[in-house]
Structure 1
């Protein structure tokens, strides 16, 4: 049986750690990245079942990362769930327009993260 793998991308070490713990407690193998460029590389190499992606990050933001993932045949099928402080109705609509399955606002709960696993490929 193949283990479920998640990629968590956030430039906040606290949020990265919290998300990783929630997913590991749910039985998932978790890899992390602290920016969009690392995320693209890790997604291509590790082929996670789902990606939890912050929006506001240096270098390459979450929206740009999501578009790049969708443009690459190796990663285009991996579902993206945005996790961000940007959580207005307009942000929700824009996140879906950028390829996200959903946008979870910060601060997030463990239940919200676990519920988003339903989108895993």
Structure 2
């Protein structure tokens, strides 16, 4: 089943708006959150099909938010894809260990975002 509801999590208003536009133009319903705690709360409330999550955020960062989501039995099936400026191999490995299903490095293309979600 193709995902239809996507949550975008980023504390940068510019990045949040850019991803939101990409997803809306591709026909997805979009939910936004601005930090890791907000992401967890909205995931509980709205049950998105996939989550695109920044890593570096104030408060609860993306890695911690991913751990919170993937360790919650009601949310564990929601794939989390990190969209981040962190691009070291260690970051990718750590992201996978937190339960992430992929990592897209900023700057990204519209095709990278769409293709990654379509592959889930």
Q: Same fold (TM over 0.5)?
A: yes
Q: Describe how 1:19-58 pairs up with structure 2 within 5 A.
A: 19-58=19-58
Matched residues in 1 for 2:16 and 2:7: separation?
A: 10
Which structure 2 residue ranges, 5 or more long, are not aligned?
none
TM-score (norm 2): 0.94
**Number of the residue aligned with 2:99:** 99
**Number of the residue aligned with 2:90:** 90
Matched residues in 2 for 1:116 and 1:73: separation?
A: 24
Which structure 1 residue ranges, 5 or more long, are not aligned?
none
Change over 3 Å in CA distance of 1:114–1:7 after alignment to 2: same
Q: Describe how 1:44-83 pairs up with structure 2 within 5 A.
A: 44-83=44-83
Q: Count residues in correspondence.
A: 119
Q: Which structure 1 residue ranges, 4+ long, deviate > 4 Å from structure 2? A: none
Matched residues in 1 for 2:25 and 2:70: separation?
A: 29
Q: Cα distance, 1:119 vs. partner?
A: 4.8
TM-score (norm 1): 0.93
Matched residues in 2 for 1:74 and 1:119: separation?
A: 22
